[in-house]
């Protein structure tokens, strides 16, 4: 794998992983420069960060909370990976631009973007469609789709300029392609992620750029457990899925 353009620390970590006899995940993430955007310090995002570190990727961990970002990055560094923490609010266009720019500077480029943060019940009440306020609809759109679209539009020129392809992975939901009682705005936003991914595939596949949406079901996280514990009764297997030890 060519390492030109990668930061010195990222290059050293990639070479160390390649020379190590320790077992690694059999995937293509080794030495790749990845930004985990939004929620990288907890829950599903923290589990993704850990997996990327185990695979030998160079990771920038972005979270709303500074302490969570720093803790997640420190764990990777302790394990021999290259990782940096950054923090900001993905709902802010200025914060988003700053975080992506910082990630590119730290990594010496960018090979992958993972967008994590989203949800409904942690942000607005679960109500029927006709009872939902305009401002609540906007909030759900902002935290599930708008920031992802902004981030994708910002990283595409980076991928194109590098001429090495690129990958975007977004955490979606089964709600994006099935009925969503009391979650209309959330379902619409997650459905929009699927459409965005198809558009990226159609327009940029020839450039080696791809986008995938991982549409999970109900996952046990700190937030989900507090606000939606009653929903476990509606799951056929009688339990939530798990994202890892940091759920």
Residues with a catalytic annotation lie at 186
Distance CA 30, CA 14 (A): 7
**Coil, helix or strand for 36?**
strand
* Angle, helix 66-78 to helix 43-54, in steps of 10 degrees: 20
- CB contact burial 113-150 (16+ within 10 A = b; e otherwise): bbbbbbbbbebbeeeeeeebeeebbebbbbbbbbbbeb
CA 156 from centroid of its chain's CA atoms: 16
Nearest to 111 by CA among 14, 244, 232: 14
Distance CA 59, CA 32 (A): 8
The number of C-alpha atoms within 13 Å of 89 and in the hemisphere containing its C-beta is 6
For the chain, the first-to-last Cα distance in angstroms comes to 33
């Amino acid at each position: 794998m060519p390492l030109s353009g990668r930061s010195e620390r990222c290059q050293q970590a990639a070479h160390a992983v390649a020379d190590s006899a320790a077992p690694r995940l059999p995937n293509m993430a080794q030495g790749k420069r990845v930004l985990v955007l939004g929620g990288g310090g907890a829950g599903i995002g923290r589990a993704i960060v850990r997996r990327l570190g185990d695979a030998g990727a160079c990771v920038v961990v972005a979270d709303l909370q500074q302490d969570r970002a720093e803790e997640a990055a420190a764990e990777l560094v302790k394990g021999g990976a290259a990782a940096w923490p950054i923090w900001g609010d993905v709902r802010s266009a200025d914060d988003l631009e700053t975080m992506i720019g910082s990630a590119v500077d730290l990594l010496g480029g960018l090979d992958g973007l993972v967008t994590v943060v989203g949800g409904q019940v942690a942000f607005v009440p679960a109500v029927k469609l006709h009872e939902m306020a305009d401002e609540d609809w906007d909030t759900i759109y902002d935290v599930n789709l708008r920031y992802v679209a902004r981030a994708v539009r910002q990283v595409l020129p980076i991928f194109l300029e590098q001429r090495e392809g690129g990958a975007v992975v977004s955490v979606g939901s089964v709600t994006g392609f099935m009925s969503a009682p009391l979650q209309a705005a959330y379902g619409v936003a997650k459905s929009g992620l699927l459409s965005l991914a198809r558009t990226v595939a159609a327009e940029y596949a020839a450039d080696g750029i791809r986008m995938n949406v991982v549409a999970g079901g109900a996952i046990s996280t700190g937030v989900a457990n507090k606000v939606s514990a009653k929903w476990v009764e509606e799951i056929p297997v009688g339990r939530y899925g798990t994202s890892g030890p940091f759920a």
